Each structure stands twice: as C-alpha cells, then as structure tokens.
Amino acid sequence: MSAPVVQLSNVTKRIGKRTIIDQLSLDLQPGEVYGFLGPNGSGKTTTIRMMVGLMKLSGGEITIKGHSIQTSYEKAIRQVGAIVENPEMYKYMSGYKNLIHFARMVPGITRQRIDEVVKLVGLQARIHDKVKTYSLGMRQRLGVAQAILHKPSLLILDEPTNGLDPAGIRELRDYLRKLAKDEGITVFVSSHLLSEMELMCDRVAIIQNGKLIDERVITQEGSSSDAVGKYRFEVDRPADALALLTQLSAVISQDGIELSADRETAAWINAQLVSAGIKVYGFRVQNKSLEDQFIEVTGGETIG
Amino acid sequence: MGNFVDLLRNENMKIYSRPRTWIMMGIMLVLMLASNIIAVSVGADVKSMWQVFSMQSLFGFSAIVIYAVIIAADSVAGEFSAGTIKLLMIRPWSRSKILLSKYIAIVGFALFFFAALFVWNYVLDGIFFGFSSGTVQEMLGDESARNIWGYMLSVYGLQILATTMTTITLSFLLSTVFRSGGLSIGLSLLLMFMSGTLSGIFSLIDKPWVDYLWFMNEDLTSYLLPGTYEHTLGFSIGVLAVYYIVFIAITWTVFNKRDIAS
C-alpha cells in the first residue's frame, strides 16, 4: 500500500457537551473511490466540514498529502476540491463567471482549463446563463466543475447524486471512476444512497453516532465468477436434499437449502439433486446487498 | 500563494455584476438631477453653483451611507445565507485575507459612489447655475479666505473618513457576527439614525466620558464650519480610531474562530 492521500487520526468534534464525532480514523489511498455512509445525523457532513477546514477539530488530526489541515491549511486545501452539501453558487452571475471567480482563487488556472472543465461536465450550452436559471442537476454539474478546476488530488463530494436524474447519476458515476482511475484522484463521497455507493466505490466506511462502525472493500460484480458464494436452492423436499449433500454442510432454509459453493460446484449440486429425483425450482447466489449489510451493522437505527 | 488582487477582483465582480448596485447609483444620480430641477423651477435664490453643490452633497452623503450599509451588511451575511461561503472558504487563502478583500471592496464601493456624486453634482450644478469660482466666504458667511475646491474636497474627505471608520466598519462587524443581512442592515441604520438624537441627549450630560462616545465624534465635517469647537478634529479622529480598531479586531477574531456550519 502506498502512502495515504488523506489521513484522519482520532478525529473528534465536540459541540458543547455533545460529542458529534468520536475518535474517527480513516486512511484514503490514491486513486480510490471511498464511500462514506451513515444514517442521517451520524456526522458525515461534520466530518467533511472538518476535512475542508470549515470546522475546527476538537481533537485528533487530519492530513492531506502530508499537510495538516490545522497547521498548514493553505497547502492542504490546495489539494482538495469539494462540494459541501448543496452546490450553492452565486445565482446572480453566470456559470462561467462563477468558475472564473473560483479559478482566480488558485494560481495557474487558464481560460483553456475552464473551457475544458465546462465541456467535461457538459454545460457548454448554458454556461453563460445566470445560475438562477439552472436546474438542480445543472447546478450539481457546475459544482463538480468548480471542484475539479484546479486538478485536486482529493475530491470530496457530499451527496453528489442528489437531484440528478438516472442518466446524470450514471454519467457522474462513470466520470468519478474515470477520474480516480486515469488521474489518480482520490474521491471521497458521502451518501445514504446505498445502491449507488455499491456501484461507485472501492471501499466504504459506515459511521453511526460519530463512530466508525465498519469499513469494507466492495467487490465489483463480474470479477468473481470462481469465488465462493452463498447459494440457495429452492427444492420440493429440503430434508432429502440435505441428506444427499451431507459432505457439503448445507442447512435447511425456507423452501430449500443453503450452502457455500463456487459456480462449478453449484452446477454439479444441481445435477446431483435432479438425478436424485428432487425437483429444483431454482437456485441463485445469495448476494447480500450493501443495504442489507448497512441495516445489519447500524441496526436499522436512524437518528441516535 | 496567489495574488491578493485576484481576491479583490472577485469581490468587485460580485458587487458590480448585481443590478442593485446600478439601481442604487441610478437613484442617487436621478435624485440629484431632480433637486436641481426643483431648485430652478421654484426660482430659488442661488448665490453660486457651490451653494447648491454643498447642499446636494449632504443629501447625497446620506444616500451613500445607506448604500454602504446595505453592501457591507450583505457582504459576509449574504455569503452565509446563500451558502456560497462554504465554496469561498475552501480555497488556499486564509480566512483573514478573504475577509480583508471583502472589506477593501466595500470601502472601494463607497469611494466610487462619493467620487460619482462629486463629479455628477459639479457637472449638473455647472450646467444649471453656471460654472463659477464661488468663495467659501459667500457660502458660509465667515471671514475665511479658503479656496472653494479645497473646502469641498475636505468636506468629502472627512465624510469618507467618518463613513468608513464608523458606519461601514460597524455594519461589516454586525454582518460577520450575526451572519444575517437583514439584522445587520437594520441595526446599522438604527444606530446611524439614532446617533444624531443620542449625541443631542448625551451633550446635556456634563460628564467627561461623554466626549469619548463614538457618536459624539462622528460628524467630522462640522469642524470645517466657522465658529469655535469643544474639541479638535484630531481628538475626534483619535476617538473614532480607537473604536475602529476595536470593531476591526472583533470582526476578524469572530470570523477566524467560528465554525462555518450554515
């Protein structure tokens, strides 16, 4: 593993007596899309605000490319592009003027770069219109544009798919993955849209009540044809099927049996069951979705 | 890292690309024109263009002060209420410098309006009442031999100084502390309009500390009028300077310390 781009170590935030974030530690690798999941009020936005210096830390440390956000803020934030909550722009100016505004704040951004980014987010047709005439999806695109103008090493997006239509979500997803893969940008996305995160992220962290409760690697589909998965066979006589497959440590579940196997074994088991005269109505991999896992680890609790 | 001038250009862009700035300017210029038309149509007894110029300037000053309050009060609070403060602050600039760029842009706005008022009034009054080299003597009735240009520029200068040190800085402070445009505009205007009344009331109190209240020293241009004064211009500027430093210190400290959680 290479040196992490972002390191949060024992980050704590207290407001009054309430501890909003409690000893949170995360390491983000270069070029990965990192999902940050949690129920409402779990501290996602607070964490992001601390990462970009809008809020001060009560304890712990955040470093971005080795620069501490507390002690060398200007160097650290130079590496960051972000949308915090909604992409709020100056509504009385055109999208282009908004981009010029943010471009001026970081040295070395040329007009060509602005045009390039506008094209990248697909806003060419409307960029000279006032932002107040934009739809939410267009504002989101403009938000992404201002975040990537200065070619950051870390892109922080808070609920980026909010207000985007399905095509827009897909486009954003593909674009983020491309940024991470081709340019080595680390993308940090917070969301509670679990299915989205599953498709977008390499790793996800789940926080609840300001504590990290789980961190896991997401395996992208299609990459695991010979991996062992949990299969469920729907059969008419589960007890007989179980007796037939004693060596495979299967268990009876409703309307069938469950066992662990790879793809080839599953097909072989099917053949065995059929040749033993047991009716197989269907069998499939029991993929636990991220949503199931999320509910499982957070206990389905919402605001704690 | 970057160039501070770019921050100023940004703040100026935000002020001057809004129609309201030009509406304010238009209202001010039209009011000046209207007062000339009224003066001519009622056949007012005008000694020279400078007499009208002087009265119109006082009228114009109150308009500019209100405009400056609006712009200053909206400067920080507006970014908070629109949510743009989050995108503005996450750039490689310290909070202090971003705040400074806003402050300088507001002072620049006031200077621009004062300059426009001066030029517009000069041109209008010259056209309506004839360009003349009137004297301070005929206008104020004192024995002074002061040059009219010198006198008028001093009036503008002291007015700009007083407006910058008190009104603009105070509404900028309120804007930063309360983060609400409405509240800071309201409070600033209230304090501004009450300062005349307050200084009237407090001047009845015969205590030494009264002289050190800021609203007792706010009217710097009164030192240009003939007569004797209780204090010197230097004293009043000194008192205002102390308040100014306190206002600036509070504004910057609060802005640097607070979490941005809008």
Assigned domain for A168 exists: yes
Average pLDDT of chain A is 85
Q: Where in chain B are the domains? A: 4-257
The model's confidence at residue A223, banded by pLDDT at 50, 70 and 90, is very low
Is any Cβ of chain A less than 8 angstroms from the Cβ of B2? yes
The mean pLDDT of B229-246, rounded to a whole number, is 92
Indicate whether A233 and A202 sit together in one domain.
Answer: no
* Cβ partners under 8 Å of residue B243, min gap 6: B165, B166, B214
- Using the structure block, give the residue that is written with the tokens 């592009």: A81
The residue from A172, A199, A217 where one domain ends is A217
Q: Is the pLDDT of residue B181 over 50?
A: yes
Interchain contact A166–B (C-beta under 8 A): no
Q: Is residue A235 part of a domain?
A: yes
Chain A: give the shortest CA distance to residue B182, in Å: 19
CB distance B1–A74 less than 8 Å? yes
Query: A205 with A236, same domain?
Result: no
| Partner-chain contact A107 B90, CB within 8 Å | no
Interface contact A90-B1, CB threshold 8 A: no
Is residue A1 situated within a structural domain?
Answer: no
Give A93-123 pLDDT, tens digit per residue.
999 999 999 999 999 899 999 999 999 888 9
Give the pLDDT mean for A216-225. Answer: 63
Question: Between the ranges A152-166, B95-109, B167-181, where is the mean pLDDT highest?
Answer: B95-109
Q: Taking the CA of residue A146 as centre, how many other CA atoms within 13 Å lie in the half-sphere pointing to its CB?
A: 31
* Portion 82-141 of B in contact with A at CB < 8 A: 82-84, 86-87, 89-94
3-class DSSP state for residue B167? helix
Q: In this complex, which of A55, A102, A107 lies closest to B259 when CB atoms are compared?
A: A55
| Last residue of one domain, picked from the residues A217, A242, A270 | A217
Q: Which domain holds residue A102?
A: 6-217
Considering only residues A254 and B66, tell me which one the structure prediction assigns the higher pLDDT.
B66
| Beta carbons of B53 and B121 less than 8 angstroms apart | yes
- Whether A275 shows a pLDDT value over 80: the answer reads yes
Please give the model's pTM, rounded to 2 decimal places.
Answer: 0.86
Residue contacts between A and B (CB atoms, under 8 Å)? 82
Q: Let me know whether A153 and A301 are in one domain.
A: no
pLDDT of residue A82: 94
Q: Choosing among A46, A90, A155, which should be mutated to test the B contact, i.e. which has the most B CBs within 10 A?
A: A90
Mutation for B interface: A58, A67, A101, A131, most B CBs within 10 A:
A101
What's A234's domain CATH number? 3.30.70
Which of A192, A217, A242 is a domain's end point? A217
Q: Are residues A244 and A208 in the same domain?
A: no
Question: Which position has the higher pLDDT, A1 or A258?
Answer: A258
Same domain, A173 and A275: no
pLDDT of residue A289: 67
A144 and A65, same structural domain?
yes
* Same-domain check for residues A164 and A237: no
What are the pLDDT digits (tens) for B63-98?
999 999 999 999 999 999 999 999 999 999 999 999
User: Same domain, yes or no, for A165 and A264?
Assistant: no
Q: Does B261 touch chain A (CB under 8 A)?
A: yes
Contact between A54 and B92 using a beta-carbon 8 Å cutoff:
no
Please tell me which of the candidates A56, A90, A105 has its beta carbon nearest to residue B14.
Answer: A90
Identify whether A121 is part of a domain.
Answer: yes
The answer on pLDDT for A304 being more than 50 is no
| Cβ–Cβ gap A78/B90 under 8 Å | no
CA-nearest residue of chain B to A107?
Answer: B2
**A254 assigned to some structural domain:** yes
pLDDT of A246 > 50? The answer is yes
How many domains is chain A partitioned into structurally? Answer: 2
Examine the domain organization and report whether A78 and A33 are in the same domain. Answer: yes
Whether A52 and A187 share a structural domain: yes
Task: Say if residue A222's pLDDT is above 50.
Answer: no
Is A106 part of any domain? yes
Q: Which residue has the higher pLDDT, B122 or A181?
A: B122
In a domain, A173, yes or no: yes
pLDDT higher at A286 or B104: B104
* Contact assignment for B14 to A93 by CB distance below 8 Å: yes
- Spatial distance between the Cα atoms of B101 and B106, rounded to a whole number of angstroms: 9
Confidence of residue A300 (pLDDT cuts 50, 70, 90): low
In SS3 terms, chain A reads as: CCCCCEEEEEEEEEECCEEEEEEEEEEECCCCEEEEECCCCCCHHHHHHHHCCCCCCCEEEEEECCEECCCCHHHHHCCEEEECCCCCCCCCCEHHHHHHHHHHCCCCCCHHHHHHHHHHCCCHHHCCCEHHHCCHHHHHHHHHHHHHCCCCCEEEEECCCCCCCHHHHHHHHHHHHHHHHHCCCEEEEEECCHHHHHHHCCEEEEEECCEEEEEEECCCCCCCCCCCEEEEEEECCHHHHHHHCHHHCCEEECCEEEEEECHHHHHHHHHHHHHCCCCEEEEEECCCCHHHHHHHHHCCCCCC
Answer yes or no: is A249 within a domain: yes
CATH code for the domain in which residue A204 is found: 3.40.50.300
Residue A249 has pLDDT above 90, yes or no: no
* Residue B262 reports pLDDT greater than 70: no
Q: Are residues A69 and A210 in the same domain?
A: yes
Q: Which of B142, B146, B168, B167 is nearest to B155 (CA)?
A: B146
Residues in A closer than 8 angstroms to B89, CB to CB, are 52-54
Residues B196-218 have pLDDT tens digits of 888 888 888 888 888 888 888 88
